[in-house]
Structure 1
Amino acid sequence: MKKILPLLLLFLGIFTFSQQIESFKTILNDKISIRAIELDDDKVWYSGTDSKFGFVDLIDPEHQKQIKLSDEKLQFRTLAQDEDYFYAANIESPARFFKIDKKNFTHQIVFNDISKAAFYDAFHFVHNQLAFAFSDTDDNRLKLVVYKNGEWSFFKNDIRLNTGEAAFAASNTNIASTKKYLWIATGGKSSRILRLNFKENKIDVFNTPIIQGESSQGIYSIDFSDDKFGIAVGGDYTKQEANIDNITTTNDGGETWQIQASGKNAGYTTCVKIKPNSKGKEIIAVGDQHISYSSDYGKTWKKISDEKGFFVCQWIDTNTVVFAGKDKISVMKLKF
């Protein structure tokens, strides 16, 4: 029995982390920092530094196109889409919201924010007629821009942020939604979850146990599989190897959170994505120094790559993930 137990545990460990990297190919090399991507029409679309916007074809990576949205050297860390257009907002003031035609790349500015504190961290479409963009604020009030039925405006609310509570434009993924809810994650000296109930048009605010207290700490990315299960990841970008209290999950829609794998993960993480159709069981996460995988709802993690310089990721299908970051976009094929 003493011999059987270790063998059984070894087998279970192999079974739990049975995925292997079948291939990992870079499909774009450029002088650019990319923190926001979208998938559409078998292409990965991106926005980034130096006002750059473009796509790489996933079927034929030689098929690429890139434009500059402005003659100024704007930095884009957001990207969102509806059926016919992409939308990107630059960080820093004045913030401009660009609307880009998917067919011909013509673009126009559809919204301006001239406040000094304007810094848009995430842009997210719930559906074709509803979108939200999240910005830093200069008066401790929650600052959201809402697009609803063709109109742009600031979202009226009475939510006040705590002193030192802000957000991170690390991967355009501190907003997530289902048909019922929109979730927003904050970070810094206070790291919380704000949940908007669409039916009631009400925002509830929930505390999290993730590491916080310093301006560099807190939640950087969230994802939800449904109205109940979600995951939030982050850490401290000034201490990237630190891995205490930087992953947390919820089973009640964000009301309560449980720390997972504290001290037993690869550290600071900027983006987390739940595998399609896995109901939250299988998850991939990326940070500046690692790519990691969980097959048990985020409870345990395995570092599957030491590749550095990626900030954002997205599932293409149930076996393929695209990554983007410093000067590159790459595609990983996983074998299960």
Structure 2
Amino acid sequence: MRRTFRTVAAGAVCSAALAALTAVPAQAREPEHRAPHWELKDTGAAGVRFRGLSAVSRDTAWVAGTGGTVLRTTDGGASWRNVSPPGAGDLQFRDIEAFDARRAVVLAIGEGEASRVYRTDDGGATWTESFRNTDTKAFYDCLTFFDRRHGLAMSDPVDGRFRILSTGDGGRSWKVLPSQGMPAALDGEAGFAASGQCLVASGPSDVWLATGGGARARVLHSADRGLTWTATDTPVPAGDPAKGVFALAFRDRTHGLAVGGDYRPDQSSPQAAALTHDGGRTWQPAATPQPAYRSGAAWLPHSRTAALAVGPTGTDLTTDGGRTWRTVDTGSYDTVDCTADLGCWAAGEQGRVARLER
């Protein structure tokens, strides 16, 4: 959107332990028996805000942020390598999708040619620019992949409809999809380039797009890799350029979470969470939402009911599939991602990157 945003342990075991954070006073917890908690990793990049994050495993993760910065760790955050694309210092990286320790695709956001996509096949030693936006009306926000070859990127509305890019070769080349299958955008509606989670996929063909800024905060769904879409209203407040759904998380093609609110720090964010059990056809408000704006969300690995949401004022946990949330940490993070081998990572301002430890 053309606004300020532009410029775990497995299953129930992890859920119960995280919940203990809110039940046991910090001074009563012995260090050797601490419940799962965020442990900051020194990135050496205090001046960078990381809104792009792709967790590959407990050992390997990539982050992308301001100043054209891309970092990679392969030792669980003990050390970080600056693998930023050459000449990208003026770019704002807001999303990154990594397939392993060597292959990744990163998205720069902005109007016109500021929106670009780069790919690396050698751990960031070299990068190839695979897309540069030449339409001054387009502004790309997020990208996602169904598998190692097929992926999409989305732009704010162009001529009244969200624009979708598609790749079938792992991000080496891109094409704009036809717009006929995309519903008309609302006045002022756009996406938030806040955490790389305004466009998310689950399975071989399902993808969801989160919006804000219009009269209603909506989620658009495609079951055919972006060719045709349906739009559904959510109960998350909108009606202002700073309000809407900022992040989506789907643990399968049916069960999903939406989080957001109002990103302005002096504004409250009531009812800023919703959940779906039917693939996004309908959305229900959380009975007890997060207490403030949240920009990122992720399901905990191997759990059907536990997930995390993060934002500048803290991290919240749900253990009932998004119906109720409780704050478990007050550190500032913009985005969060979890992996099948029980690795959860978070990233945000001032070079902050953390891994969930226990």
- Report if TM-score (shorter chain) is over 0.5: yes
Residue of 103, 121, 125 corresponding to 1:85: 103
Q: What's the CA shift for 1:191?
A: 1.7
For the pair 1:236 / 2:268, whether they are aligned, the reply is no
Give the C-alpha shift of residue 45 in structure 1: 0.8
Could you say which residue in structure 2 is the equivalent of 1:97? 117
SS in structure 2 opposite 1:205? strand
Of stretches 163-172 and 45-54 in structure 1, the one that deviates more from structure 2 is: 45-54
> Which entry has the higher C-alpha Rg, 1 or 2?
1
Query: What's the counterpart of residue 48 of structure 2?
Result: 32
Partner residue of 1:312 out of 335, 339, 342 = 335
Amino acid at match of 1:233: V
Question: Do residues 18 (structure 1) and 20 (structure 2) align?
Answer: yes
Which range moves more in the overlay, 87-96 or 313-322?
Answer: 313-322
- The partner residue of 2:176 within 137, 154, 162 is 154
Name 1:3's counterpart in structure 2.
none
Contact 2:210–2:218 (CA<8 Å) still a contact in 1? yes
Structure 1: gaps of 5 or more residues: 1-13
User: 1:59-93: per-residue Cα shift (whole Å, max 9, x none)?
Assistant: 36135333344254111112123466311221112
List aligned pairs for 1:240-319, cutoff 5 A.
242-262=268-288, 264-279=289-304, 281-308=305-332, 310-316=333-339
1:33-52 pair list within 5 angstroms: 33-40=49-56, 42-52=59-69
| Percentage identity across paired residues of the two chains | 23
Q: Please state whether the residue corresponding to 1:292 is helix, strand or coil.
A: strand
Residue 18 of structure 1 aligns to a residue in which SS? helix
1:168 alignment counterpart: 192
* Conserved? CA contact 1:243–1:266, under 8 Å: yes
| Residue 53 of structure 1 pairs with residue 70 of structure 2 | yes
Q: Looking at both structures, which has the greater relative contact order when contacts are Cα pairs under 8 Å and sequence separation is at least 6? A: 2
**1:92-241 to 2 correspondence within 5 Å?**
92=110, 93-94=112-113, 95-103=115-123, 105-149=125-169, 151-158=173-180, 159=182, 160-179=184-203, 180-189=205-214, 190-198=216-224, 201-239=227-265
Counterpart code for 1:271: G
1:225, distance to aligned residue in structure 2 (A): 1.1
1:331 aligns to 2:354 (yes or no): yes
Shift of 1:286: 0.3
How far apart in 1 are the matches of 2:124 and 2:88? 19
Q: Per-residue displacement from partner, 1:212-266 (whole Å, max 9, x unpaired)?
A: 111110000001111211000000012566231210000111000100035x522
- Work out the CA distance in 1 between the residues paired with 2:44 and 2:75: 14
User: Which structure's residues are more often strand, by fraction?
Assistant: 1
Aligned counterparts of 1:44 and 1:220: Cα–Cα separation in 2: 22
The 8 Å contact of residues 16 and 295 in structure 1, kept in 2 or not, is answered as: no
Tell me the distance in 2 between the aligned counterparts of 1:152 and 1:268.
33
In the alignment, is the contact (CA less than 8 A) between 2:211 and 2:245 conserved in 1?
yes
Contact 1:26 1:328 (8 Å CA) reproduced? no
1:273-312: CA deviations, max 9, x gaps?
A: 0111112x0011101111111111111111111112x111
Distance 1:322 1:24, change over 3 A: same
Change (3 A) 1:82 1:25: closer
TM-score (norm 2): 0.82
2:55–2:344 Cα contact (<8 Å) kept: no
How far the C-alpha of 1:116 sits from its partner, in A, is 1.6
- Secondary structure of the equivalent of 2:282? coil
Output the CA distance in 1 between the equivalents of 2:334 and 2:122. 24
| Residues in 1 aligned to 2:155 and 2:235: alpha-carbon distance in whole angstroms | 23
